[in-house]
Amino acid sequence: MNIGLISIVLPTYNEKDNILVLADAIHICLGQREHEIIVVDDNSPDGTFTAVQEAGRPFIRAIIRTSDRGLAKSIRCGLEKAAGEVFVVMDTDFNHRPDYLPFMVDALYYYDCVTASRFLYGGKMDDRWRHIASWLFNIFTRIVTGGQITDSLYGYFAISKSRLEKLDYDKIFWGYGDYCIRLLYYLQKDQVNILQFPAVNGKRLGGKGNSKLAGTFWQYFREVIKLVFKGRIYHV
């Protein structure tokens, strides 16, 4: 494929301490590649949107959402506003390392989608309990859906615009991290050419992450079961 403009979508909520540092790191990592960074903020009370606007970085577009908020819907908003031929979605707390971006983008010359995995050889995350819980959940997801993705929860991926826009956004982009389970499910169902690569989880610079682990996994479990009832993935 022809890799032209790269659009990086960054959904934010209370990431004032991280977002500009991350955006600058992305800008440096992508170097001479043409790119735009789209920050979609869910009206953060810590002033994330204002901080981005006042910084005046020419490579950043800031969008604020004041209604119907949520992670997946913010991502959808960013994708719909993106002008690139390549879309990248990543977290804004440095869990997703920007130094992987050149490899991910270049791999799209050969694949339709490139997604990071903490559970391939060489990948890891520091929190042992979260690592075990996520690893077990991903095994469960593969077994019940028949898929091959080793990490359906990480949400760090690059994909061609033409490939992603063949999917029905209404079936995917709602809820929290469960959107990524649905996205990878439907991509596999359509037999899209996906590359997985091992990723080492980065470290949050500031703010607080999601601490409601049990409730989050229960929500994800329900979404996987719903997908199973809609039909399993089969590979020819």
pLDDT at 208 over 70: no
Inform me whether the pLDDT recorded for 205 exceeds 80. Answer: no
Dist. CA 123–CA 12, nearest whole Å: 25
Retrieve residue 41's tokens: 């903020």
The CATH number for 22's domain is: 3.90.550.10
98-113 per-position pLDDT tens digit: 999 999 999 999 999 9
235 occurs within a structural domain: no
86 within domain boundaries: yes
Residue tagged 């869910």 (tokens): 42
Long-range contact pairs involving 220-226 (C-beta distance under 8 Å, separation at least 24)? 220/137, 220/153, 220/177, 220/178, 220/181, 221/137, 221/140, 223/175, 223/178, 223/181, 223/182, 224/140, 224/141, 224/144, 224/145, 224/181, 225/144
Cβ contact 207:17 at 8 Å: yes
pLDDT on residue 2: 65
Q: pLDDT digits over 38-62, tens only?
A: 999 999 999 999 999 999 899 999 9
Which tokens in the block code for residue 236?
């020819």
25-34, 61-70, 120-129: least confidently modelled range: 120-129
- Give pLDDT, residue 10: 98
Count: domains in the chain = 1
Looking at the domain assignment, is residue 93 inside a domain? yes
- For residue 52, the enclosing domain spans 6-230
